[in-house]
Structure 1
Amino acid sequence: MIYQEFFLSIIILHSVSWNIVMVDGAKILGLFAHPSESHFEVMQSLMLELAKREHNVTVYSSHRLNERIENLREIIVEPEFPFWKQFLEVTGSQAGGLLKANELTERAMQKSLATTGASAVNYFLSNEAVKKLLNLPVNEFDYDLIIVDLFYTEALLAVGHFYNKPTIAILNTNFENYMDRVLEQMVPAACSPICYEAYKPEAGYWNRLGVIRYCLSRRKQFIKDNWGAQESVIRKHFSQFKGVSELNIGTLQAELAVLLLNSHVPLLTPRPLLLNTVAAGGMHIRPPRELPWSLRRFLDESRAGVVYMNLGNEQLCTDVPKHIMQLLLNTLGKRKERVVWTCHDHTALKNLPTNIMVQHAVAQADILAHPHVHIFLMNGELLSMQESIMRHVPMIGVPIFRNEVRNVELAVRLGIGIHLNHNNLTETALNWAMQTIKEDSTYQLKIRQVATTFRDRPLGAVETCMYWMDYVLRHQNGAVLKTLGVSIPSSQLHLFDLFIFYFAIALLSVGMLAAAFYGIIILMRKREIGKMYSKQS
């Protein structure tokens, strides 16, 4: 009898602990306004996983999830917003394309991205299906959790605010240091200085002063350009709600239940993060799937190995400058390796060398998983870099944008890639880079070490995301994770108001000392004058 009671208690405790971990099928809403296909890969991975775990998932986006699941509902916002086309128009770079846009100052680049991002969100919220969703009465908006992408799309956070629903944001890019800008709004400037990777704590006083001043200036500009544009979108599309005119992005950001970062060490430099800011890099990477027969045969039959090339998910093959296109075809066409090139307009290129295949339909992570792929020729995009690391394929980076340069320079520091400058790219340099990676085993050794570090965490990337989503559903909308200091004014966050107090005390002390010193001098002069009169008399 005692043993029966003992085993019964174990069973009960096990069932209770299981119920703590598991969450019954929740109703989850995904709002993904950014039209980038590469950005959506992250959202696609997580939404499909949530649906497979028996949550009821509804997704509003410009791209399809490409899987049919009974408890998954998709609303496609069509046609897709032309983000990069409008970005080039805003910057006046239509003629020169992305190469011309890269010549902009950082200030102009950020302002242009903020303007284009606000236009993209405005386009998304103007869609009839989305408008119908936002016009639901509060008591009929029965979603348990809202998930949004965060790339110049902060206005989406207003949905959770006005309907009083927990919101999880996914930040899956470091484009133009956007990730840094979002994170640095939450901590004092001294804890998150600009150029975090290059910052040295032992820097001199004047250097530190300059860094902090620039960091604060950047924060102020980000709030003015990006937050100001997003708040205008909120006032336009949420005018039916009370208090919309006073609402600001700072308040919405403070209400976030969890912020998921698609990065992780060693790609993300360790830094102070709030409890509800979770690094989960690689969340878009899943186990490789079987390749289509024609592509698999092309890869299998390449005994000399395969070079995989993707110069940007937003880059059309026909947009590649002619001299670079000719250089690539001449160089790659002469090599023994076969080449798989991924780009959108895969049917636009004609008369290619026989060793080059252009495709678009197959996910690059699946191609990189093939054992014959030895080199990844890429532009330096963060998601591609993560896939390259996870599949143990060293990379040759030909970056254009500054964020791409930053990523490729990181790859060089980690010993997993080679950086080629697109301005003076030559056949000799490209051949040298490919031959170096093929013959120098150090690159293979280093990328396996980096991949081990990137994977080394309690849970995998997707499992980490699932855990925190369930956590928010279990624990009162994730309120226990929120840091109150996020919403305090900048002057208080950086202790400026206290500095004024101490400065006043210091000023008063100096004033009192000066007055005392002045009084002593006057007293001494009076005595001297008195002595002079006494001698004369």
Structure 2
Amino acid sequence: MNRTNIGSLIVIALFVLALPEGTDTAKILCFFPTASKSHVLGAQQLLKNLARRNHEVTMVSAFPLSKPVPNYRDIYIPIEDSFSAMMADFMQGGSRSIATIMPKVLSASLDYTNFTLNSPEFQQLIAKERFDVAILGYFLNDFIFGLGALLKCPTVVYFSAGMSQINNVVGNPQEIASVSHILLGNRNPMTFFDRVKNTLVSLVEVGVLGYVHSKTKPYYYYNFPSEKGYPSYEEAKRRIPLQMFNWYFTQTAPRPLLPNTVEVGGLQIKSQPDPLPTDVQTWLDGADQFGAIYLSFGSNLKSSNLRRDKLEAIIRTLGRLKQRVLWKWDTVHMPGKPANVMIGQWFPQDDILAHRNVKLFITHGGLGSITEAMYHGVPIVGIPMFGDQDRNVADVIAEGWGVSVSFEELGEASLTAAINRVLSNPEYANKIRDISARFKDRPQSALELATFWVEYVLRHKGAAHLHYQGADLNFLQKNLLDVLAFLGVILYAVFKLIGFFLRGILVLICGKKEQPKSKKA
């Protein structure tokens, strides 16, 4: 046997020894029906790591990998343009009211999830193959929880953000008195009026969740009808053994979480950045003197759709800077592009933010972008557009590592002032350096943690023991109202009996009181 063969055997042996005890290679399905590329990045990192560990993984999504990976298979379902019209409207200054947006986003999410679920490609896949575990990408589409019964395998829910309606699925306690609602941002500790707001928002959410439930339920029974032996909609949600959130406790106020809720914030971030494309590397390396700025409105919003006055204000502002700028731009050409600006239709954002010369990130404030900036210690100028972005940027401002420019106030003067404020004041860079160190300080990486828990569910055949019994209780039971009512009835009965016996004893001791004789007329 030659040295090459011996070396190969040693590598294989070390790989096998590195696997946790009892973990066999498995067939893993990831069903991720989303029109947002940023939402799927963390799941892709997880699947690639599982594939490296010799599991056979299949990703069903609208975003196949650009480069093939061994043991990794993509099933492409074209839904990536589902939000295009809505995103274009935001960039023109359209209404960003949650009351206006919510019904549209919910309807689109339900429709494209249903399209993916019933696509010929997915139906052919599940007709021919069986899987050991399914990872489900959640975003206002919890009717997909019926896939566990359809595929006859345990399911793990992955959510690229964190919202209380998915918390309800596994029964995480919602401590309204002490934990700020996600829509209110990080408030720790809360003042009296914060708790008033928290209570009101939580009550409104009950109504919103009822609305979401009523819209989602028909999709569940259409795909998983009871007459075919599928569990009820409510039962399907209770069967989820594990959920993973792409956030970490240092990003929020501390909150109580059950063992079946795993925080994997930063899952999409690579511990060791990949080499940058040559042109990008050269551009950033040449920014040693003044530094570089990265500008991106995320994977859904297209910069070319910006209202003309806003776009021109950004271009004029950037053109006057000494810094080099990388701008994620969605077309080949940019009208009036300044000489210090380099454009690209897709940039490896995580790897760019890791570059030593990147001093500022101008962002829409999506959770993924905020998390990557936090990890790499890059302060931000936020221009929030919709959804949770206002709250995300507000948290950054409160923490002291960025400033905000609203879409309505976005102009050359306001943007220039915001950029100069962050770049000229070292306090922003110092603050995010400390926050970054805190975010990174954990016993194992987000990727290692997520990989462990997926394999844990595999090793323990679905890990039914992770299920929290409190998730099965209704509102009355969960809040002990039935118990309090029962005890109230018992106490009432006891007091009535005591009163009855006391009256009886008094009658025996004192005798009956003689009734006065009535006077004759």
Q: Structure 1 length normalisation: TM-score?
A: 0.82
1:280 matched residue in structure 2: 264
In structure 2, C-alpha distance between the alignment counterparts of 1:481 and 1:69, rounded to whole Å: 32
Q: Which of 145, 156, 162 pairs up with 2:144?
A: 156
Give the match's secondary structure for 1:423: coil
In structure 1, C-alpha distance between the alignment counterparts of 2:362 and 2:238, rounded to whole Å: 40
- Residues 198 and 98 of structure 1: is their aligned pair in 2 closer, same or farther, counting only changes over 3 Å? farther
Could you tell me which runs of 5 or more consecutive residues in structure 1 were left unpaired when the two chains were aligned. Answer: 1-13, 516-526
Could you tell me which runs of 5 or more consecutive residues in structure 2 were left unpaired when the two chains were aligned. Answer: 1-13, 501-512
- Residues 425 and 489 of structure 1: is their aligned pair in 2 closer, same or farther, counting only changes over 3 Å? same
1:45 corresponds to 2:39: no
Q: Shift of residue 20 of structure 1?
A: 4.7
Q: Shift of residue 194 of structure 1?
A: 5.8
Q: Shift of residue 184 of structure 1?
A: 4.4
User: Which residue identity lines up with residue 187 of structure 2 in the other structure?
Assistant: A
Equivalent residues of 1:189, 1:216 under 8 A apart = no
Equivalent residues of 1:83, 1:116 under 8 A apart = yes
User: Which residue identity lines up with residue 108 of structure 2 in the other structure?
Assistant: T
Give the match's secondary structure for 2:250: coil
User: Which residue identity lines up with residue 215 of structure 1 in the other structure?
Assistant: S
In structure 2, C-alpha distance between the alignment counterparts of 1:479 and 1:491, rounded to whole Å: 25
- Residues 210 and 406 of structure 1: is their aligned pair in 2 closer, same or farther, counting only changes over 3 Å? closer
Q: Which of 260, 267, 270 pairs up with 2:251?
A: 267
In structure 1, C-alpha distance between the alignment counterparts of 2:220 and 2:204, rounded to whole Å: 25
Give the match's secondary structure for 2:244: strand
Q: Which of 457, 473, 481 pairs up with 1:472?
A: 457
Any idea what the Cα deviations from partners look like across 1:338-392, whole Å, max 9, x if unmatched?
A: 111113x232522311111111232111111221110001111110011111121
1:3 matched residue in structure 2: none
1:336 matched residue in structure 2: 322
Q: Which of 187, 209, 213 pairs up with 1:198?
A: 187
In structure 1, C-alpha distance between the alignment counterparts of 2:190 and 2:318, rounded to whole Å: 45
Any idea what the Cα deviations from partners look like across 1:8-61, whole Å, max 9, x if unmatched?
A: xxxxxx999967546221111111111211111112111111111111111111
Which has the larger helix fraction? 1
In structure 1, C-alpha distance between the alignment counterparts of 2:337 and 2:465, rounded to whole Å: 58
In structure 2, C-alpha distance between the alignment counterparts of 1:498 and 1:308, rounded to whole Å: 58
2:504 matched residue in structure 1: none
User: Which residue identity lines up with residue 462 of structure 1 in the other structure?
Assistant: L
2:283 matched residue in structure 1: 298
Q: Shift of residue 215 of structure 1?
A: 2.2
User: Which residue identity lines up with residue 353 of structure 1 in the other structure?
Assistant: P
CA RMSD of aligned residues (A): 3.6
1:114 matched residue in structure 2: 106
Equivalent residues of 2:168, 2:471 under 8 A apart = no
Equivalent residues of 2:362, 2:383 under 8 A apart = yes
Equivalent residues of 1:417, 1:443 under 8 A apart = yes
Equivalent residues of 1:22, 1:470 under 8 A apart = no
Number of aligned residue pairs:
494
Q: Which of 123, 137, 141 pairs up with 1:131?
A: 123
Q: Which of 213, 218, 223 pairs up with 1:227?
A: 213
In structure 2, C-alpha distance between the alignment counterparts of 1:20 and 1:371, rounded to whole Å: 36
1:436 matched residue in structure 2: 421
Q: Which of 475, 493, 511 pairs up with 2:478?
A: 493
1:289 matched residue in structure 2: 274
Any idea what the Cα deviations from partners look like across 1:102-148, whole Å, max 9, x if unmatched?
A: 0343xx433333222111211111210112234x3xxx753111111
Q: Which of 383, 386, 394 pairs up with 1:401?
A: 386
- Residues 98 and 406 of structure 1: is their aligned pair in 2 closer, same or farther, counting only changes over 3 Å? farther
- Residues 332 and 213 of structure 1: is their aligned pair in 2 closer, same or farther, counting only changes over 3 Å? closer
1:317 corresponds to 2:303: yes
In structure 1, C-alpha distance between the alignment counterparts of 2:18 and 2:414, rounded to whole Å: 57
- Residues 256 and 98 of structure 1: is their aligned pair in 2 closer, same or farther, counting only changes over 3 Å? farther
Equivalent residues of 1:181, 1:219 under 8 A apart = no
1:60 corresponds to 2:25: no
In structure 1, C-alpha distance between the alignment counterparts of 2:74 and 2:92, rounded to whole Å: 32
User: Which residue identity lines up with residue 163 of structure 1 in the other structure?
Assistant: L
Q: Shift of residue 402 of structure 1?
A: 4.7
Any idea what the Cα deviations from partners look like across 1:373-426, whole Å, max 9, x if unmatched?
A: 100011111100111111211111111225111111111122211122221123
1:6 matched residue in structure 2: none
1:307 matched residue in structure 2: 293
Any idea what the Cα deviations from partners look like across 1:289-310, whole Å, max 9, x if unmatched?
A: 1112222222222232111101
In structure 1, C-alpha distance between the alignment counterparts of 2:88 and 2:18, rounded to whole Å: 57
